[in-house]
Chains A and B, each alone.
Chain A
Amino acid sequence: MSHLHIPDGIIDPIWLLIGFIVTGLIIGLSLFMLRKKDIQKLVPRIGIISAVMLLGMSVPLPIGIGYHLNLSVLVGIILGPWAGFISAFIVNLILALIGHGGVTVIGLNSLIIGSETVFGFLFFGALRSFLRINISALIATFFALALSTALMMGIVGITQVNPAKFLHHHEHNHQTQLEEHNHQVDSQEELAEISLIKFAKIIIPFAFIGWVIESLITSAIIGFMGRVKPDLFYERER
């Protein structure tokens, strides 16, 4: 549980929409960047690496607690940022379909996991030039995950504060049961900022263990691949 999939029904529709739009834009950019690549090569590469990511997420870690792997950084390192983001979207889509995250938050969740693939790729690329690959992978994974958790909390924070007002007005006009809603929405509004801290207090200790495990395993895998098949890592074309 190095990161959190946001479930349905927590975030206001307008933010869901914004999530889809931003994800759509990034996917559009990715498709544009990949436009010259051979679709015969790209489809199996994205499809199969996404399948591995799904597998990683669906296998509980053999350490006794309900953790599972994520492999997003590894996917970024192998696929590169563009195909990596598409892969993150595909994985989120399928996860949502098996009740592992919300359908309405596919956009936002893709941004979170996509950020792991993209930043993981960037960090690894930067570190790799002066550190050993397994060390680079370790550091890159740790910080990419920390960043994505921050991003997630940012998303939760933003979406809890402003939209509440929106929700308020919106419902004011259309709903009949004003009393109940007003009460709930108001209390939510008051507590939004505080709840983020509470939220962080709950999340961070769990997430931290997750980052450490994920970093260690990613580093082990990268080390292994580096010995067996160093040509696997994505290289930017010059």
Chain B
Amino acid sequence: MDLYFIDYLASNGHSFFHKASAVPKMIFSMSIIIAIIMSNRPSFLAFLLLFLLLLLKILRQPVLKILAMTFYVAVFAIIFAVSQISGSFLWPLTIILKAVTAALSVLIVLTTTNYFDIFAVLAHFLPKLIADSLFMTYRSFFILLKELKNLTMAVKVKRGLSPRKIFTNLKSLGDILGVLFIHAVDLSSRSSEILAIRGYKGGMAKYRSLRCFSKYDFAPLILSVAALLGVGIFG
């Protein structure tokens, strides 16, 4: 499960990107994406992609595994690309490069920054209800993931899931998700009780203070400027 692995990478790494705070890294990612939107030149986009992969390598992150996480985006992009073939292969290539590079720039930030630090930044732009719900989504995702794993194991042991039996599998999946949904609704009512007991009145997304500026924040900022200059000159 990607989210689990991303969370793990973010909370267990020690690179200079891990140490930088969320805001400059988010600026970094946005700059890359702006560069991607502005440029239509495959060579520049390919250079950006290689640059990001190299950055991942320098950060000692598992490059291939993170690149693999852009799989879905790549597939979507290919569908768009294939349906637009114009004789030249350059435009489809451009589309795929854009999609994958953009996704990678976000993943670099996510695999070096804890979710909740990013949410805490977003909380300053989002309505209270949405920002707090984001935090709740994050926490409950891991609680429910564990339950989903356990339910799946229990069904597997009773042979409700096996490689060749598609219909049995679909039915079992329906059962599993049914149980999961019901438990999720129960969990949500217990969680409201817990929030009430602990005095919650809204606004928890802003409890996490944004970190102060540190020397580590220079790296993503310098890279942002470089990306923007790069697209201005070469893109």
Interface residues of A (CB under 8 A from B): 4-10, 13, 27, 31, 34, 38-52, 54-56, 58-59, 61-64, 66, 69, 71, 74, 78, 86-87, 89-90, 93-94, 96-104, 156, 177, 180-181, 184, 187-188, 190-191, 195-196, 198-199, 201-203, 213, 216-217, 219-221, 223-225, 228-229, 232
Contacts and interface: CB of A to CB of B under 8 A. Distances in A.
Contacts of B174: 216-217, 219-221, 223-224
Nearest to A42: B129
Classify the secondary structure of A's interface with B.
Answer: helix
Contacts of B134: 47, 90, 93-94
A48 B144 contact: yes
Contacts of B84: 188, 191, 195, 198-199
Contacts, number: 269
Given A8-B36, A55-B148, A217-B173, A43 B77 contact: no
A10 B99 contact: yes
Interface residues of B, number: 86
B222 interface: no
A94 B136 CA distance: 12
Nearest to A97: B110
A184 B70 contact: no
9 contacts: A8-B36, A43-B133, A43-B136, A54-B141, A98-B106, A99-B104, A188-B86, A201-B83, A223-B178
Contact of A44 (B90, B141, B191): B191
A102 B141 CA distance: 21
Given A40-B195, A97-B106, A10 B80 contact: yes
B201 to A, nearest CB: 7
Nearest 3 A/B pairs, CB to CB: A47-B136, A9-B98, A220-B174
A55 B86 contact: no
A181 B195 CA distance: 55
Given A10-B98, A46-B129, A187-B87, A221 B177 contact: yes
Contacts of B37: 8-9, 13, 104
Contact of A47 (B72, B75, B133, B171): B133
A99 B103 contact: yes
Nearest to A197: B83
B129 A44 contact: no
B187 interface: yes
A98 B69 contact: yes
B127 interface: yes
Interface of B: 1-3, 6, 29, 33, 36-37, 40-41, 69-70, 72-73, 75-77, 79-80, 82-88, 90-91, 94-95, 98-99, 101-104, 106-107, 110, 115, 118, 122, 127-130, 132-141, 144-145, 148, 161, 163, 166, 169-171, 173-175, 177-182, 184-185, 187-189, 191-192, 195-196, 200-202
B133 A4 contact: no
Contacts of B144: 48, 51-52, 55
A167 to B, nearest CB: 9
A103 B106 contact: yes
A99 B3 CA distance: 10
A101 B33 CA distance: 13
Contact of B73 (A63, A102, A156): A102
Contacts of A10: 77, 80, 95, 98-99
A39 B102 CA distance: 35
A44 B136 contact: yes
Contact of A180 (B29, B40, B99): B40
A86 B129 contact: yes
Given A39-B132, A103-B106, A220-B178, A187 B86 contact: yes
A203 B79 contact: yes
A198 to B, nearest CB: 4
